Structure 1
């Protein structure tokens, strides 16, 4: 049976996510603000949760109801037969986005929806679901859009950007989903060397290694919410897990992350070990001035600090100039990418860009700068 789904993603990554969904077999793919609508069967729903690298979660819309005010929202929510989706012995969480003039507090709106659901359970069965905001069995997503409320089942649960392998993080880590998106934007392929000379806790290199080894990121998760649904197909899920495990590759080109900070290198090494790919990637302490290419060609990508205050920005001028000097002097034949949130700093690289790609990094408008090094 073909159903409609909505994959949530970071602002600005909608087109990349749409392309990823098409590759996974999705139909009727339609990017929207911070998400992508698509269609597919139950197998596709499972496959997207297992394999997608740039999305946060997959929602399955189940009802759109009128919700001009709290009273209408409550009555229309309670009119739905929730026994089709939720049993009283299962825990529940309701998460809400959007608003209208009379439903302008997401927390209170979520409570209103939760009350309607559990009041129906109490009336019908004399027992109701408990609320669990940490690890709920069933997650209901509600989105208020003008006088309507779209109610969806969250098939994912905890956001997919939390792969499960990264227990150690630096001070300003990239989300795994953004790191994967950056690699898609660079058009890096698994036969190319990959270097990050400011790797922090290693996210870009680790995401590249997972891509190159064809490891499904969902394999690191213990559970998805769809496994608690009434129509969960354990046999189908098991076959997809087996398929993913059997499709993994064994070898990579040089994948190297360096950083001047010894502590974050230890974090990166710990994360690589958690991925069980510690023998496939190299993380070591090294100052930027000492970096050398491990191959004749490849992709270099880094996310240097941007600086928040004017004094911080000026202090970073030498770092960005050094980046440009190193690119020009040592990485001929490579393609370099720098993600920065400051235009003045980007000028200090001193090289002509061949492409400038707007990126939103945690609410900060950034640009991914491409340098073809000849």
Structure 2
């Protein structure tokens, strides 16, 4: 598999527990068909180009994972050998940077860090064999990201097309104390069956996440408007025009005004100030009464 941007494969979209029903609804509203639904995500089929609108639009998701290969691997040696068969030189620049994450349950692995190192070694060795130069790797998720899902003898290696988690929507520069995750805030609002046209009141607003997410829902502003870097941008073959076309769609469907009140309050003046600053970053401060 070389042209991942135009080749269909399994896509797993992960989320926090109890958000999968809302994630499923979001994905289906974008026109995708769900093949499998589980407590922490959904499965569908598509290309890496399909992953671009998913990353930009989804409010309840954590990561969008595109399957590169599925295979049997009983131990670290077999894992390494199977990973060496994959054409990583067509996915990761030889002078690039990548990181590895994993979810592992295998009798030979006592820490996921060891599995991560085996993945890194295989990828680096393959690219060095083919190109003569090895890419750099490390813990940062701001370039190419690989994800290993290895349960007993069954392994899946994914391109994590998101990188930094989608559950943070990018506008909250001042978190305050014990902030609510943005994706969880969206799920909380959706679970309340709020009609997005009646008054919304957020007492004890903290950093303002609930009020801001309510305003973003009401104006149909998607998380992709607040973010300009995703892991899919660092995969070889990426066409930035696809991203800009999808981002333009987000601007076209968003609204600037609402005809009802959103109110955020807190006993702490500092919390109210933090909420207002975060709302300004999100571009919805004019919609919220603090």
TM bucket by the smaller chain? Answer: over 0.9
What are the Cα deviations for residues 2-42 of structure 1, in whole angstroms up to 9, with x where unaligned?
Answer: 43211010012222211111111111342124121012455
After TM superposition, the structure 1 = structure 2 runs for residues 181-192 of structure 1, keeping only pairs within 5 Å, are: 181-192=187-198
Structure 2 unaligned regions, length at least 5: 1-6
Displacement of 1:242 after TM fit? 1.2
Displacement of 1:214 after TM fit? 1.0
153, 157, 175: which one pairs with 2:159? 153
Distance 2:283 2:60 in 1: 21
Displacement of 1:43 after TM fit? 4.8
Aligned residue number for residue 98 of structure 1: 104
- For the residue of structure 2 that corresponds to 1:59, the secondary structure is strand
Q: Is 2:191 the counterpart of 1:180?
A: no
After TM superposition, the structure 1 = structure 2 runs for residues 232-271 of structure 1, keeping only pairs within 5 Å, are: 232-252=238-258, 253-271=260-278
* Larger Rg, first or second structure (1 or 2): 1
Distance 2:194 2:36 in 1: 25
What are the Cα deviations for residues 189-216 of structure 1, in whole angstroms up to 9, with x where unaligned?
Answer: 2211110111111101111111111111
Structure with more relative contact order (C-alpha pairs < 8 Å, separation 6 or more) = 2
114, 131, 155: which one pairs with 1:108? 114
Displacement of 1:136 after TM fit? 4.0
Aligned residue number for residue 88 of structure 2: 82
Q: Which runs of structure 1 show a deviation greater than 4 angstroms over 4 or more consecutive aligned residues?
A: none
Distance 1:188 1:41 in 2: 34
198, 206, 215: which one pairs with 2:212? 206
Q: Is 2:201 the counterpart of 1:195?
A: yes
TM-score by length of 1: 0.73
What are the Cα deviations for residues 229-257 of structure 1, in whole angstroms up to 9, with x where unaligned?
Answer: 22323222211111211221122210111
Distance 2:49 2:159 in 1: 16
Deviating more after overlay: 39-48 vs 127-136: 39-48
After TM superposition, the structure 1 = structure 2 runs for residues 1-374 of structure 1, keeping only pairs within 5 Å, are: 2-252=8-258, 253-283=260-290
Deviating more after overlay: 26-35 vs 157-166: 26-35
Q: Contact (CA 8 Å) 2:202, 2:210: kept in 1 or not?
A: yes
Structure 1 unaligned regions, length at least 5: 284-374
What are the Cα deviations for residues 157-201 of structure 1, in whole angstroms up to 9, with x where unaligned?
Answer: 100122221011232211000000111111212211110111111
Higher strand share: 1
